[in-house]
Chains A and B, each alone.
Chain A
Amino acid sequence: DAKTTQPPSMDCAEGRAANLPCNHSTISGNEYVYWYRQIHSQGPQYIIHGLKNNETNEMASLIITEDRKSSTLILPHATLRDTAVYYCIVRVRLSGSARQLTFGSGTQLTVLP
């Protein structure tokens, strides 16, 4: 199973872009990369996912390197409410289309005023 490596913590100034890196050097060719976040003791929240191309939605952008061994989640204008633990995840296939989210320890992002 592909594993991910993230820095344990990062700080970011409010209003600036937050760039969260993730290494997934053992990812297979057909595995997607997912990002979730968990705001203090709440249930995790989906942010974005991607396979090869860069992706953008209303929450964030995802940049995946050409060799797919790493990716970066970008929060373009971080706010205090973005303070959370961010998880980079490669899903593990279960039966049928069910997928297990394999959570590591994540990156604690603290947005500073």
Chain B
Amino acid sequence: NAGVTQTPKFRILKIGQSMTLQCTQDMNHNYMYWYRQDPGMGLKLIYYSVGAGITDKGEVPNGYNVSRSTTEDFPLRLELAAPSQTSVYFCASSYSQGPEQYFGPGTRLTVT
């Protein structure tokens, strides 16, 4: 199993541009999550999904959108990128009843 994969690894955006961060898991997990991590800080939850077709906001959803059309994929969309969205983005997944969230390697995004 590849686990949780994320693309791209790095990206530089100009202010106002848009992009989609990709996340795929091959463990058949129902639950998927997007977190962001600012320098020197812990992770904050952006959006999460409890299954295909079901998504909900986390702690810091403004400026982002998500969709979940399949169990495997959970893309995160940034519209009108702003410097405040410069961060490292982590995708995670978990079994519905399991204690452990499995994290991807992250996408490092810079908005200038």
Contacts and interface: CB of A to CB of B under 8 A. Distances in A.
A13 B42 CA distance: 26
Nearest to B51: A96
A95 to B, nearest CB: 6
B40 interface: yes
A100 B99 contact: no
Q: How large is the interface on B (under 10, 10 to 19, 20 to 34, 35 or more residues)?
A: 20 to 34
Contacts of A42: 105-106
- Binding site secondary structure of chain A: loop
Interface of B: 4, 31, 33, 35, 37, 40-45, 48, 50, 56, 58-59, 88, 90, 92, 94, 96-97, 99-106
Interface of A: 32, 34, 41-46, 49, 87, 94-106
Given A43-B4, A97-B31, A98-B50, 13 more contacts: A43-B106, A44-B43, A44-B103, A45-B103, A97-B97, A98-B31, A101-B35, A101-B43, A101-B45, A102-B42, A103-B37, A104-B42, A105-B42
